[in-house]
Amino acid sequence: MEFAVITAARSLDLAKNFEPVKVGEVTVGLQAVKEDVAEIEIQGSQGVTTLKIPLGTAAASQGYTFINRDIGIVEPGKPKRRGFFGFGRKDDTPVDGRMEVELDVRWGDQALELAEPEKDVAHDFILVKQYEAVADRPLVYQNQDRLRFGEMILSIEEKVEEGSRNYKRERHAPLTVQFDGKDPEEWQIRMNDKYHRKGKYRVKITHHSWEDSWYQSYGVSIVFGRPKDESDETEREFAQGIADAAYSKENLGDSTSRLEEAKANPEEHVFSSGDSVNIGDLGLKAMSIAPGKVEIMVLQPRVKKTTLEHAETFEILKWNITLIGTYGEKAIIRVTED
């Protein structure tokens, strides 16, 4: 899948030319902005063409599709706003500042399905979920929020709300993952330019966009196997300690002490496989326990299932659920509130 998210801009002083942006094999320039419509110029092998693209719509030229994601006028010390600036402006039009348009540009194969991915080769995709129509226009992002890659389905379900802790600090992409024959589960992928593993697959968030209320999007790089030229691409690049399975079952003194310590801590809870616990308004169940990881299900107030690895935190509503460690057939999980 070939795509890019670019910003084309031009000074409000129209005596100055636009600032060209290279994408693929064409050059894009912003000519004018009228309310929420961007007039852009495309220079490529087929010559020069002009497109007028309203916000939340798409237009095509020279084998490329251009989607207007955001548009506005930016003046010093003022928030971005919509406006009318272009050729034929009045004398009182401000010249300090710039007009901008953010474009989602697509070309080549745009399928969001790759049934048999080549092993150890990274493939890039963009997922977009549209939450509302723009000015009663048809949805431009229809069925763009769900990707099938081999046996894995990756999709956008949850919207990151403005003002939430994740929105302020931009830490996780809350995606949903499902494998053939299994139930879907939420996968909060850290946005730290690293690959994160789920079974035979690895996913990296390459970019995200949460700023506009009508859509949210993620660029993802996905690999079946291990990415080439990556010595170890996951967060588990450095060991967190000796694996639980390596400890002798005949010498569990320290583990026993840690379990007792957890039982005395109101924020920590000891689980065996199948245990369910109510922690205030939060219902939590340990589905299965393996060395270094636990599959959990949140029973209330919202049903979610995920797998936690050592020291990994799962965030849901106001709760942070962290796997402290596994000790034989038991696990310690810490639950804190914001």
| Per-residue confidence band for 168, with pLDDT thresholds at 50, 70 and 90 | confident
SS3 content of the chain, % helix, strand, coil (to 5): 5, 55, 40
- DSSP-derived secondary structure letter, 19: B
**How wide is the angle at C-alpha 118 spanned by C-alphas 113 and 123, nearest 5°?**
55
Average pLDDT, the chain: 85
Asked whether 329 and 272 are in contact (CB, 8 A), the reply is yes
Residue 7 pLDDT > 60? yes
At 213-253, the pLDDT tens digits run 999 999 999 999 987 655 444 444 333 443 444 444 444 44
What confidence tens digit (pLDDT) does each residue in 111-138 have?
899 999 999 999 999 999 999 999 999 9
With tokens 């996780």, the residue in question is 172
Mean pLDDT of 172-180: 92
Binned at pLDDT 50, 70 and 90, residue 325 comes out as: confident
Mean pLDDT in residue range 248-276: 75
Residue 254 pLDDT exceeds 60: no
Contact 333, 269 (CB under 8 A): yes
Rounded distance, CA 308 to CA 296, Å? 7
Find the mean pLDDT for residues 277-297: 90
Percent of the chain with pLDDT over 70: 87
Q: What is the mean pLDDT of residues 53-58?
A: 94
| Residue corresponding to tokens 């965030």 | 315
Say whether pLDDT at 97 is over 50.
Answer: yes
Q: Which amino acid is at 98?
A: R
Judged against a pLDDT cut of 70, whether residue 192 lies above it is answered with: yes
